[in-house]
Structure 1
Amino acid sequence: MKSIAEFRGSNIDIRQWCKTNVEARRMVTARLGRIEDKFFRLIPKALAFKPIDDIKDFVYSYVLDEKEVNIDVLRENVRTYQDMERTLDNVKKRMKKLKKIQELYQRVQERIEKDRMYEYFLKRSELELVEGQLSSLETAKKNEEIRLSQAKAQLEMLQKERSEKQEIATNIRVELRHNQEFVALEEEKKELKRLRDKRQEALNEETELKKSVAQAARDCESLLQTMGAGNTSRYSAAVSTEMSQSANAENETGVDFASCIREYRKKLQTLDGDINVTEIKSLTDDVIHFKQMRYGELQEEQAQLKIRLNQNQTEWEKLSKKINKLKRKKLTYPSGVELLVESVQEEFAGIGREIQPGVLCEMLEIKDEEWRNAVEGYLNTQRFYVLVEPENFDIALGIYDRLRREKKVYGVGLINTKDLEKYDTAPAGTLAEVVTSQNQYARQYSNMLLGKVQMCERYEDLKKYSVSITKGCMRYQNCVASAIKPEVFRVPFIGKNAFTVQLAQAEEEFQKLSETMENQEKKLSDTKEILGLLSTESDVDIKYRLDVIATLRMLNKSIDKCEENIRKLKENSTLIQKQLQLDELEKMLRGLDYTISSDTEKIGGMRARIQDLVARKQTLLEKQITGKSEVTALAADAGERLNSWNREYKEALGVRSIEQFQSEYFYKLPSNKRKYNSERCQIAKDNMINAMVEYKTEHDFGAAASLEGFPEFEAVYERLKNSELLDYEEKVQSAHKAAETEFHEQFLAKLQENMKLAQGEFKELNKALKGIDFSSERYEFQFMPSKKYRNYYEMIMDDFNVTQGESLFSGIFHEAHKDVIEELFEQLSVSGDNSAQALDEFTDYRTYMDYDIKIIHNDGTYSYYSKVCEEKSGGETQTPFYVTVAASFVQLYSNNIGGEAAGLVLFDEAFNNMDDERIGGVLEFLRRLPLQLIIAAPPDKIQYIGPAMDEVMLVMTDQKQSYVEEYHNAV
């Protein structure tokens, strides 16, 4: 035997029949009976035996061919149907939303209509109320006119009586005027009246004087109590400094403020006796002067005290915030440091990078507390430098520069931590040696700063080094020695204990400041009280009212003298009799005058009331005209609804008064019927507008979301309802029908046909296997509905052809297979690679069945190949293989289109590991089939295979050449 290359080399004259594999395949299939290309897939599988592991895959490969079901038209119809259905659903959704808008609009209109009715109720009730008021006014006017007429008659009678009595009194007065004693008496009476009036004025002024004296006395008493003895009182505490200076000035002039106040109080207490007004006025002037001077001094002290208190309040608030931060383990830094740290953190977060800028002092620890003050003092503001990683420095620097341009941050250090590796170790004897850090950059930077500062125990050693420092914070640098201010290192910032120390310091300072502020507030309160005592209002009033005391004394003397003169003049009996008669007449005249005046006033009131009633009536008449006009206009607008409005009005009014009706419907708080209706109207309007806005947003509609824009929404609803809805329903029905027809004819029918043919092939295969024993076993191929797709199988194999005249999507068939149909339609309408793979599975008729081989034993028992394949030996698994492969070739050749096919089957190394009984059974089965067998097998199988074959050829080799010879059985 030669290789293909050797064969071609030794036979160069052989004509090449085919130039391509496709052409060769076509020639071979034509020569073998114009069979399908499946031949080229089956031949290699028959030659290369492979145990059956998955029966379904084996059936797919060897028994059942893939048969295409073209569903392109069906998919298009389904998509069209679903698109139309979605469009119809969208139209229905739009109509539903528009219907809701329409319903809300109707609610709004109903509420508006009800409000118009309430407006009619209001105007009508107001008109009826005005008409009722007009009637009441007319009655009141008539009654008032009757009373006026009666009052006028009564007044005329009184005036006549007065005229008569006045005439008698005049005659007596004329007679008395010719009497000198009477004239003198009259003059004395006039003088007495004048003096008494003047005394009353003086008494009133004396009353005010006594009030001021009482207030001034109380103020003096309080002042003397506050001044007390020594300098321990509130007064001396409040004015100690300023008062001492003023007191020195007073002592120089020989005047003492306390003595002055005591004398003033004493004089005020004896004011009712015989006093020297000039002396008291002088003393009052001194008191006013002293008080004004003290008042100015205390006001200045009060102002200074308020300033100090405000300053302390600001410091108190700062300390309070600082303590709160320290309790949260946060130190308080200069504002620029905190702003830079926050800005860097925010900017980096904005670009998606989470970093935490650090402050140098928080990253350091001091190992030797004795050198803490030296480290804190030397670093000073360098403790607050901000530190970021080297890769973040440039961005942080840009942020710092922006803050500088915005004039927000100055003087804050931003550490560039790049290239600090050389400072990884702290030099011995330097401040860096007592400082450590878990952050390598902070440690390296502190080594750079403090590694040049030599620690000295004695100040005498400072000059030995260029830069040095002692524990007491004496620093030597640039040939200059200087002491660091304690304020620099008093508050520690370095290390984890800095929080604790700062918190203790802050709380102590906070306590002291609180006590100071409490004392200042008390001093401020005392000062305010003393300022009230130093008021000179009462003293000034006393000064200008003191003269009334002398005036009263003089007036009392004059009145006594005048009364004595009148008493002497009245001793004449004739004069007395005439005078008594005149006094009686004058008394009667005064009574008549009072009555006439009162009646005249009453008549004036009556006339005013009548005029008021007339004016009110005129106003009500105007209201009546306006009300009638408004009610008429509302009634005209109501049209046919007026009768129902009037009925409702009468029912609503009932037995209630108009005022009660108006209160309940229009004025009662917090709610009334019209207000309730208005609120419901506004709610409905808001809901309508919200629904309109939602519709506009979802459907890109341009109408205004308002009552005025409703007609456009209504027009769309009517168009959808009367035109587009019907059109789309018709299109959906048409698309539905087309999809149903295609689904029925091109999908279900084809799948059912293919599945029935497949079942027929299995039956034919089982028919050929019937009666053949394979080593005491017989085989029967099983097919059954797929466990996974059983519902689909039942739908496909359902006798749906009987349902002619009925839709697959309604009736019994649809009810039975509704879920399966919907899932299939969903799969048919989906696009994409995954959906294509799923469609291939759903359109393959083989998908809907499961397969197995039933092994029937001689004792009548049976088992299934799928259950025992892993336990069987090689021979037991080969038998189904040969049976199935042979069946596949029979199927292939029976489907030829060129007459009788060759029926050629090739097996290589056939029947390995099979016993003679199984080999015989397989050969008997194969001989029953319309096949030509070419079997290649090892020599030890010749005794089993040879008798069943028409011709046996032996292939031999001597390692150089191969030989083929015919074999004949000698028996």
Structure 2
Amino acid sequence: MQFALVGGQRDVRFNQAALSGGKRTLASYVRGELGTEAQRYLRGDATGVVALEFKNPDGTFFAHGAVIDAYEDGRNPDVAYFIVHNAALNDNWFFKAPGQLFDTRAFKRHLENFALPPNASARVFTRLEDYRVHLLNRLGQLKDTFPAKIVKGLAFSPLTDIRSFVHNYLLDENLLDVKTLQAQLETLRHFESLAADVRERITSLTNIEDLDKERLSNRRRRITNTYVARRAQADVFLDELKSRRLELDSAKLEFHRDEIQRDDLSRSLRFAQSALTDAEIALHTDQTAQREKELRDKLASLTAERTLLTQRQSDFDRSLAAELTDAKKLKKLLTADKLEIPDALETFIREKVDKYTSTQVDTETGNTEHAIRNTQEALTSLGEHYAREQTLLNEQSTQLKTEASNLEDEIRKLRTGDREATVKVEAPHTSRLREILRAELGLGANEVVYLCDVLQIPNPEWQNAVEGLLGFNRFTLLVPPAHYDAAMQLYRKYKDTIHGATLLDTEAILQSTQVDTYTGKQGKNGTRNTEGTQVNTYTGKKNGTRNTQHETLSSEVLTENPAARAYVDLLLGNYVKCDSIEGLRNYRTAITQECFVRRNFTDSHLNPQVYKRWFIGERAAPRQIEQRESRIDEIADELKKLNKRETALRERLALTRDKIRPFIELEHAVEALAILPERKAQHATLTKELAALDTRTIETLKAEVEKHQRERDQLQSETAAFERRLGNLEEKIKQIETESIPGLERSADESIQSAESFLIQENADDETKSDVQKEYERRRERQPLEVILQNASRYENDYQNAEQRSRDRLREAKQAYSLKYDFGTDDTEYATRYMAEKEKLVTSELPNYENQIARQRGLAEQELVENFIHRLREQIEDARQQLAFLNGTLANLRFGGERFEFIHQPAPAMRQVFDMVMDSQQVMGDSLFDSDFRQKHQQGWDLLFERLTSAHDDENAELRELQDYRNYLQYDIRIHYPNGDRALLSQINAKKSGGETTTPFYVAMAASFAQAYRLNQARPSDTIRLALFDEAFGKMDTARTASALHFMREAGLQVLLATPPDKSGSLLPYVDSVCTVVRKNNHSFVIDIDKSEMIEKLESQ
């Protein structure tokens, strides 16, 4: 019955009351799902039918239902819905033969062509939506919420969420249409945003205007300051000019006075000069005086020359002593170096030179100059010797550093897996040949390999022996047999530059090697020959056939390359491994781990430089790195020794090569000092003669000359002073007349012209000129000229910077405005165009937008009031009335002595909007946007507009909450007890018994069905009255059940109850008919029960 009334597999809840979350489906009912392991379904593909028949009060019928095709393969069932008007239910509509139903397609064709009674009509639907529309209309124009109420009634659950129940069963959803209001508000917001943008632009333009005014103010300050500075400078020049003119007059007067005094001194000087001349003539005519003068002049010359020679003698002695000390030091170093000491050096050390005569002392044939010259030659020879040694030392040091650098580079390459670099050092020609073969033959790195790269030596104790015997053969190149001839041709082509490299003919060596018997151990990386199991036979020179009965050195080498195996056997297969040197004598060719080798009965030791440099196997790279690091340490020690020797050589070169120039200087000094004794003798003779002269007359004459000379000098000094003073005054007068005064006149004129031209250059108007001149006069009255000029000069840069900053800020503001509002570029420093734009915005655009806002606000307010607030208030009042009518119905009903009442109050979440809506009727004529009403309900107003202006999304939960009038009330059920106590269902749900909490559900459901069928209206509605309940009244006592059923019957409902047999007895007095469903095996039967007979049986028991 639920499926026929509701339709749709997703909406129907099969047996929900019995099992919450059950997984029964429509297909499981049609196919007969058993769920046993032996048989899960009774039927495969099957067709089922559900049909309901309604009888009207006038005796007419109508039927509806569905035909279902269920499939064994799990496909969704196909459903055909039907409605038949004015006809009783007829099995012939469904059965094409006894027990055989039409499938959905055949049923549709069959019913549409079936002969129905007169005035009857039938229609088949394949779409659930169409079926529901027609069914709800036929059942009495029921609302779309009716199917959900049917499902809810069957899926019994305790009434815990009263709000959801009221929303789903009592109050129908009726969302307010706010799209028009949202559009109006969106348009209002659009105009408000435009107006805000205009206001923002006006603000920006006002800022530009203020910045322009600031720029003009700073410009005016700068012009004033600059003009004041230039005018002040001109006045400074004028004051200076006045001072200079006064100074010129004073200088001319002083010049005339000094000329008169100079003339007087000139006459006195002529008289004094005449007297001095007479005294000097008398002195010069005296012979004794003449001789004294001659002697004194010669003595002065000799004294100067003797002093110079004495100083040079002292310098010579100090230098000679220092060179003697260094010569002795050199002698010790030569002795330490085990070099022969030159005779000249020995002679120089023994030589002692007289301080004044420069002759030898204690020698018979010595010559100082000759000894110095010989020593110089000896030092030159020793310096060349040490220089050659230093050159060799530097070359050796450079070679060692280069070697260390190369070793470090090789270590880095080895650590990164590049073994080619070490091979290139050890066998450069082989490496070069490999590169040529790869480049010109196009071979890969694995196709041209070194022999050492394909070999492994598991036992490290025999690694030295293998490496030493293989030697250069380790770098033999292995190429594919197909490329061997081409490789040899290339080798021949480059034979002039490449030699010593080895190519292995792998094909030939494999063909020439005949293996008669081979039994060996299988190693990790290849095969290894062992003692007693190797019989390698090859044809070679005379005595070429060898038979090895002992383990040879080749058995220590592993390889997976057959050619390499054969080549190693060829090279090492003849060498027997021996544990000691004594064991070598037992074989013709043998070797020990210490690399002692026996060849043709001769013993020798392999070169350690060869066998200690490993290239075979995984241990090769670490060994090479270790050897190179060891060599780097050795090089470091050698460099330390070389550096120590180089320091010693620098010391020796300083004592030999660097001493050549000092000895040359000593040699020249000896020659110059040879005249010193003669000059000393001359000076003594002249001094003696001067002392013997009679100088009494001379002293008198001299005193007279000195007296007149002092007078003459005094007069000359005074005259010269006056001449200088007159010259200075004349120069000063000339400078003032020709330079200072004309310069000041020009400067003053230029400053005045500069100040005037500055005003013209700045395009200053007459008012500005008058103001700056008045400002200058005002300052002249208050401050000295120097202070005015100083202040103007000091603040000139400040005013310029201030103007530049204001100009920059103005430019940035204009650029920002132009970029933001696409106003175009403006390179001028004025803001005229922006002021015109501001004027247009203020007088035109902004008033226009404000008018649009006022108009749009009126439209939005009208829409808000008429289609939202008033309608919402009406819906809320209507909901209150519906609940009041329901409470009026429940007022006289008692359920176990209890009475139920639906109560409501404003929902806390929506209280602010609720109060605003309910209070809106008090606003008469005033605008909601501007009245006190908005301020009073500001929070509700903000919440309303926030959700209305949010994203226009039909699924917006917050907006839907605002549109649904049911969300503005909070619901509960009040229980009135017989003793007068009251309780709210929401508060006692978890504390009461099952019967007490179940009763409100049936009361609410009955009220919900009554409302759905419009039974609470004044005029009865033409609707069905069907109310379905599954496993009804399971936890309710008899009194509560009787009250609930009485309430439903009084409400005019046709109640269908499904209940277990053990509960049905208590319900018999309250129902009209009873049917029992009985199942036997896999078949079900419906049996009508005689109600009166059953009641009698129950009463008799």
**TM-score normalized by the length of structure 2:** 0.60
CA separation in 2, counterparts of 1:285 and 1:761?
143
C-alpha displacement of 1:736: 4.2
The 10-residue stretch of structure 1 (39-48 or 822-831) with the greater mean CA deviation from structure 2:
39-48
SS of alignment partner, residue 909 of structure 2: coil
Partners of 1:306 and 1:489 in 2: CA distance = 32
Which residue of 1 is the match for residue 896 of structure 2? 775
Distance 1:901 1:48, change over 3 A: farther
Q: Which residue of 2 aligns with 1:858?
A: 978
Contact 1:202-1:551 within 8 A present in 2 as well: no
CA distance in 1, matches of 2:660, 2:244: 64
Between the aligned partners of 2:252 and 2:1013, the Cα distance in structure 1 is: 136
Distance 2:1007 2:729 in 1: 134
Cα distance change on mapping 1:169 and 1:36 into 2, 3 Å: closer
Match of 2:481? none
Q: 2:324 aligns with which of 215, 224, 233?
A: 224
Aligned residue type for 1:542? A
User: Aligned pair 1:747/2:874, yes or no?
Assistant: no
Measure the CA separation in 1 of the matches of 2:816 and 2:406. 52
In structure 2, relative to structure 1, the CA distance for the partners of 1:740 and 1:18 (3 Å cut) is same
Please tell me the residue identity of whatever aligns with 2:161: D
Aligned position for 1:609:
732
> Residue type of the partner of 2:412?
Y
Q: What does 1:167-246 align with in structure 2 at a 5 Å threshold?
A: 182=285, 199=302, 202=305, 206-207=307-308, 209-228=309-328, 232=332
Counterpart of 1:852, as a letter, is: D
> In percent, how many aligned pairs have the same letter?
20
Partner residue of 1:333? 412
* Aligned-partner Cα distance in 2 for 1:694–1:309: 70
Which residue matches 2:99?
A: none
Q: Is the Cα–Cα contact under 8 Å of residues 219 and 533 in structure 1 kept in the other structure?
A: no
Letter paired with 2:972: D
> Conserved in 2, the CA contact under 8 Å of 1:43 and 1:906?
no
- What pairs up with 1:248-397 in 2 under 5 angstroms? 251=342, 256-257=344-345, 259-260=347-348, 263=351, 266-268=353-355, 333=412
Tell me which amino acid in the other structure corresponds to 1:605: N
Residue 770 (structure 1) shift: 0.5
TM-aligned CA deviation for residue 71 of structure 1:
0.7
Distance 2:591 2:809 in 1: 80
Cα RMSD, aligned residues only = 6.3
- In the TM superposition, residue 222 of structure 1 has moved relative to its aligned partner by 2.6
Distance verdict in 2 for CA 1:512–1:300, change over 3 Å: closer
Q: 1:729 to 1:131 in 2, by over 3 A?
A: same
| Amino acid corresponding to residue 348 of structure 2 in structure 1 | C
Measure the CA separation in 2 of the matches of 1:529 and 1:732: 107
- Write the distance in 2 (CA, Å) between the matches of 1:697 and 1:120: 38
Q: How does 1:11-30 map to 2 (within 5 A)?
A: 12-14=114-116, 16-20=121-125, 29=136
Instruction: Give, in angstroms, the shift of residue 65 of structure 1.
Output: 0.3
2:1046 equivalent in structure 1: 924
Larger radius of gyration: 2
Equivalenced residue count is 831
Q: Distance in 2 between matches of 1:503 and 1:691?
A: 71
Residue in 1 aligned with 2:1026? 906
Aligned partners of 1:112, 1:834: CA distance in 2, in Å?
62
Match of 1:882 in 2: 1002
Q: Does the 8 Å CA contact 1:953/1:965 hold for their aligned counterparts? A: yes
> 2 CA distance for matches of 1:760 and 1:374?
115
Matched, 1:639 2:741: no
Q: Distance in 1 between matches of 2:818 and 2:593?
A: 79
1:2–1:563: structure 2 CA closer, same or farther, 3 Å change rule? closer
Q: Aligned with 1:827: secondary structure?
A: helix
Counterpart pick for 2:226 among 90, 96, 119: 119
Please show how residues 210-609 of structure 1 align to structure 2 within 5 Å: 210-228=310-328, 232=332, 251=342, 256-257=344-345, 259-260=347-348, 263=351, 266-268=353-355, 333=412, 483-484=608-609, 535-536=661-662, 539=666, 542=669, 545-546=672-673, 549=676, 552=679, 556=683, 592-593=715-716, 595-609=718-732
Shift of 1:906: 1.4
CA separation of 1:89/1:585 partners in 2, compared to 1, >3 Å: closer, same or farther? same
Distance 1:711 1:539 in 2: 93
The residue that corresponds to 2:538 in the other structure is none
Aligned equivalents of 2:858 and 2:920: distance in 1? 16
1: distance between equivalents of 2:925 and 2:898? 51
| Contact 2:344 2:374 (C-alpha < 8 Å) held by counterparts | no
Name the residue aligned to 1:628.
752
Query: 1:892 corresponds to which residue?
Result: 1012
Q: For 1:779 and 1:294, locate their aligned partners in 2 and report how far apart those are by CA, in whole Å.
A: 134
Structure 1 residues 293 and 688: CA distance shift in structure 2, 3 A: farther
Separation (CA, whole Å) in 2 of partners of 1:307 and 1:682: 69
Distance 1:168 1:773, change over 3 A: closer
Q: Is the 8 A contact 2:390 2:646 kept in 1?
A: no
Pick which of 642-651 and 765-774 moved more. Answer: 642-651
Q: Hey, what does 1:77 align to over in structure 2?
A: 184
Following TM superposition, by how much is the alpha carbon of 1:227 offset from its aligned partner in structure 2, in angstroms?
Answer: 3.6
Pick closer, same or farther for the CA change 1:135–1:528 going to 2, 3 Å. farther
Paired with 1:852 and 1:475, the residues of 2 have a C-alpha distance of 113
Shift of 1:901: 1.7
Counterpart check, 1:808 vs 2:928: yes
Aligned equivalents of 2:244, 2:651: Cα separation in 1? 65
Distance 1:51 1:292, change over 3 A: same
The 5 Å alignment of 1:101-112 reads 110-111=217-218
Structure 1 residue 107: deviation in Å? 5.2
Deviations 1:253-300 (A, max 9, x none): xx523643664x7345656999xxx97666666677677777888888
1:216–1:538 CA contact under 8 A, matched in 2: no
Separation of aligned partners in 2, 1:51 and 1:456? 100
More helix per residue: 1
Aligned partners of 2:467 and 2:611 also within 8 Å: no
Of 744, 748, 765 in structure 1, the residue corresponding to residue 886 of structure 2 is 765
Deviation at 1:163, TM superposition (A): 4.1
- Secondary structure of residue in 1 paired with 2:882: helix
| Structure-2 change in CA distance of 1:229 and 1:897 (3 Å) | closer
Shift of 1:601: 3.8
Per the alignment, residue 950 of structure 2 pairs with: 830
Secondary structure of 1:771's match? coil
CA distance in 2, matches of 1:835, 1:531: 104
Equivalent AA in structure 2 for residue 223 of structure 1: E
**Residues 936 and 729 of structure 1, relative CA distance in 2, 3 Å threshold:** same
- The runs of 5 or more residues in structure 2 that have no matched partner are 1-47, 52-66, 68-90, 96-110, 419-456, 470-521, 530-557, 585-589, 599-604, 1097-1101
Task: Find the counterpart in structure 1 of residue 256 from structure 2.
Answer: 149
Could you say if the C-alpha distance between residues 314 and 957 of structure 1 is closer, same or farther in structure 2, counting changes exceeding 3 Å?
A: closer
Q: 1:67 aligns with which of 170, 174, 180?
A: 174
How far off its partner does 1:728 sit? Answer: 4.2
Distance 1:561 1:862, change over 3 A: same
Q: What amino acid is aligned across from residue 611 of structure 1 in structure 2?
A: K
How far off is 1:137 after superposition? 3.4
CA distance in 1, matches of 2:122, 2:1013: 24
**CA distance, structure 2, for counterparts of residue 92 and residue 503 of structure 1:** 81
Structure 1 distance, partners of 2:980, 2:622, is 90
Work out whether residues 703 and 713 of structure 1, in 8 Å CA contact, stay in contact via their aligned partners in 2.
no
**Between 607-616 and 43-52, the greater mean CA deviation after superposition:** 43-52
